[in-house]
Amino acid sequence: MKKIGVFFGGRSAEHEVSVITGMQIIENIDKTKYEVVPIYVSKEGKWLTGSSLLDFKNYKDGKFKDTKEIILSPNYEDNNVYAHPEIVGLFGKKIIDKIDIALPAFHGMNGEDGTVQGIFELMDIPYVGCGVLGSSVGMDKVLMKDVYKANNLPIVDYTWFYRSKWLKDKELVINQVEKKLSYPMFVKPANLGSSIGITKAKDRDGLILAIEIAIKYDRKIIIEKAVENLREINCAVMGFDEEVITSLCEEPIGWEEILTFEDKYVKSNEKGGKVSGERRIIPADIDEEIRVEIEELAKKAFITIDGRGVSRIDFLLDQNNKVFINEINTLPGSIAFYLWEGKNYSFTKLIDELINIAIKVHKEKKDNIYSYEANLLNRTSFGSKIK
């Protein structure tokens, strides 16, 4: 039986969304095939494990009876979980023997952005989802749009700046933004999801307010031309390399101008803790040619950033049925299970397939050569003068 480490929580504004995703994965994973090891990162950044982390109600009252503070070793092929050395001494103590596969369920910074994926790469452990580069590009909306623009994928007009530039000369920033874009605009933190910190600006006063909100969440701000009278259509992609498939398309409903954090999670989760279908139409009511276009663009968006596992790509559809890629979510909430149910993937089957993809990616990585014998050290006189 393979031991699966499910990682969730984290130092992120999307901490609670990650907990929900982690709990849903733990609830739905095939326990006849996998032994689940919950690894929870608190809002303070402490890494914890213990059986009480398997019970969702404990997160509501914050009472965990048996958790142990842990660390992961970055040593190659050391897939053990150790007690924190400050607790048990210099050399630590193994808490869990050899996690076979890591399944991250983080959202936002310090988890979805490639940081944790880098640890898994150093450990040489198979892990579900995008790699370091795909995760980081998918997280940074500016780099993501730069990459898509370079690959001729349709995106809305945008501009960006650093927080330091705003604090130094606000008038200059506003003038530059207004020169590049017309109102209305969307102002967003570049490295955040779940619609946190996003505001629509309809005039200069609104732009100033929106920027002041966004800079509280990130040092990098992106501003996009708003698509008026838009429909949002989302589609998930699963696979590795160019062997990818698409899910059904969805259309979120019951929102105005901005699909807020509350729209995405509070209203859709208030019944039973699972994402409800009541606030989304699946499959989306769109023309066949639009559906085909969106599915093909979703595949290209996924492949372009070297996507792995499952990602959800969010699209904007204007009143003339012109399609724009809004963003890619390399680690979508609830791993977008609701988009796959209509394609005969239960939540359990979806998790199983993602684990299989992780194993396939890891095996292919083993085909690479990681050393080159040149005897360079013995042929180099270090410190001597070269004539």
Q: What is the pLDDT of residues 167-184, one digit of tens each?
A: 999 999 999 999 999 999
Burial profile 156-186: b = 16 or more Cβ within 10 angstroms, e = fewer: bebbbbebeebeeeeeebeeebeeebeebbb
**Contact between 108 and 13 (Cβ < 8 Å):** yes
| 14 is known as an active-site residue | yes
Catalytic choice (18, 247, 268, 334): 334
How does pLDDT run across 342-368, given as a tens digit for each residue?
999 999 999 999 999 999 999 998 887
Can you tell me the distance from the alpha carbon of 120 to that of 74, in angstroms, rounded to the nearest whole number?
A: 8
Query: What is residue 80's three-state secondary structure?
Result: coil
| 295 is known as an active-site residue | no
One-letter amino acid at 320 equals: N
**Contact between 337 and 233 (Cβ < 8 Å):** no
Mean pLDDT to the nearest integer, 305-313: 97
Catalytic choice (12, 14, 112, 353): 14
Pairing, β 308-317 against β 280-281? unpaired
CA dihedral 101, 103, 109, 110 (to 10 degrees): -40
Catalytic choice (12, 18, 135, 194): 194
List binding-site positions. Answer: 141, 186-188, 194-195, 224-232, 314, 326-327, 329
Can you tell me the distance from the alpha carbon of 200 to that of 188, in angstroms, rounded to the nearest whole number?
A: 9
Res 88: pLDDT: 52
Most confident of 63-77, 184-198, 263-277, 319-333: 319-333
CA 116: distance to chain centroid?
11
CA 225: distance to chain centroid?
24
Mean pLDDT to the nearest integer, 124-137: 96
In Å, what is the CA distance from 230 to each residue of 189, 226, 323? 21, 9, 10
Q: Which residues, including other chains, have CB under 8 Å from residue 368's CB and lie 6 or more apart? A: none
List binding-site positions for Mg(2+). Answer: 314, 327, 329
Eight-state DSSP code of residue 227: P
Q: Where are the beta strands (DSSP E) in 173-322?
A: 185-189, 199-201, 220-225, 231-240, 243-252, 280-281, 308-317
Can you tell me the distance from the alpha carbon of 327 to that of 112, in angstroms, rounded to the nearest whole number?
A: 14
Q: Assign 263 a pLDDT band (cuts: 50, 70, 90).
A: very low
List binding-site positions for ATP. Answer: 141, 186-188, 194-195, 224-232, 326-327
Token pair of 146 as six digits: 């730069």
Can you tell me the distance from the alpha carbon of 28 to that of 335, in angstroms, rounded to the nearest whole number?
A: 12
| 384 is known as an active-site residue | no
What domains does the chain contain, in order, with CATH numbers? 2-127 (3.40.50.20), 157-225 (3.30.1490.20), 231-362 (3.30.470.20)
- Residue 146 scores a pLDDT above 90: yes
**Contact between 207 and 201 (Cβ < 8 Å):** yes
